[in-house]
Amino acid sequence: MSVTEAVLPGLATAALLVFAVRLVREPRRLGNAVWLGVALVLTGAWLLRAALHLEWLTPVLAGVLAVAALLVAVALPAALIVNGVRMLRREGRGAANLLSLALGAGMLNLEGLFFVPLGRWGSALVTIAAVLACYFGFLFASLLGYSILYGRLRRRTGFDAIIVLGCGLAGDRVTPLLAARLDRALRLSAREEDPPLLVVSGGRGPGETVTEAAAMHAYLRERGVPDDRIHREDEATTTEENLRFSAALLPAEVRRRRVLAVTSNYHVFRTAVECRRLGLPFDATGAPTARYFLPSALLREFAALILHYRRTTIAACVLIIGTGLLLTILG
């Protein structure tokens, strides 16, 4: 048995154990996503190394890897560009709506540079950019996978209060995105024997004629929720403020018990991470979102999570760039 064959199983098992322990202790940690990604990469490398001993399987694996590479290199950026154009047509030319289009175009441009003669330093810079892209791609895939897992692990019932996070209005009307959150809260509330307190959170943003909390309050009242079961928090403009200001409205005995924050499905894990950062023992769940909206929304959430840990991100980027430049200098 080679050293690789002996080491890979041990590393993969160790990474899975670390992930499992961290998951049990605190599922709302961003680091859990990274450990999950590391564990899956090591496990995949282990299984691939073992499969290569089977001669009949080698060409099959080569075909699968070739298809996967083609999908990542061509199909993924093309799909992002198509989605970006659709976002511009449906949602306007806001910076957030350009994310998927910009990423798809950037991927194709970076791939194209590998076929252009750029000289020693030009090729080195392109290689460094590719490594950075792989690093952030790994983080994004890990976060996406863990977000899906986290969504499957959450509690379904037993909540004393439900906080609904605002997400913008159309004048004074609840948008479909916000309506999905409110409908999710109503369905969860209907499952409880003792109806939970509902907190609607959101201030007044640009182009809005009333606060998000006021519009959400009216939406719930129209659907039969008694006024005494609804608390309004009408000052928050960020996720952090949504959670912090809403927690302040809850009675002390409720705040320390089971509280659920309802948001959109793409925003669940960041909300959970924010709850942990604020020291709030809250869980989070998500409402459905239109499929065309998801790529840009997920990219926006990824950027926000990375900014939470900007020191680590900057350190990793400096390490990658520094190593690439040093190797180029050494020739």
Q: Pairing relation of β-strands 169-170 and 197-201? A: unpaired
Tokens 């040093």 — which residue?
Answer: 326
pLDDT the model gives residue 255? 63
Q: What is the dihedral of CA 226, 227, 230, 233, to 10 degrees?
A: 160
In the chain, CATH 3.40.50.620 covers 157-289
CATH fold, domain 157-289, is Rossmann fold (3.40.50)
Per-residue pLDDT tens digits for 26-45: 999 999 999 999 999 999 88
The H or E element spanning position 146 is helix 119-153
Q: What is the pLDDT of residue 5?
A: 63
Which residues of the chain fall below pLDDT 70? 1-5, 155, 255-256
Would you state the pLDDT for residue 63?
86
pLDDT score of 317? 95
Q: What is the pLDDT of residue 231?
A: 94
What pLDDT is stored for residue 21 in this prediction?
96
- 259 pairs with which residues across the strands? 161, 282
State the pLDDT at residue 3. 53
pLDDT of residue 64: 85
What's the CA gap between 281 and 260, in Å, rounded?
9
pLDDT in tens, 251-265: 877 766 789 999 999
**Which of 50, 53, 42 has the alpha carbon at shortest distance from 5?**
50
What pLDDT does residue 239 have? 93
pLDDT digits (tens, 9 = 90+) for 74-98: 999 999 999 999 998 888 777 778 8
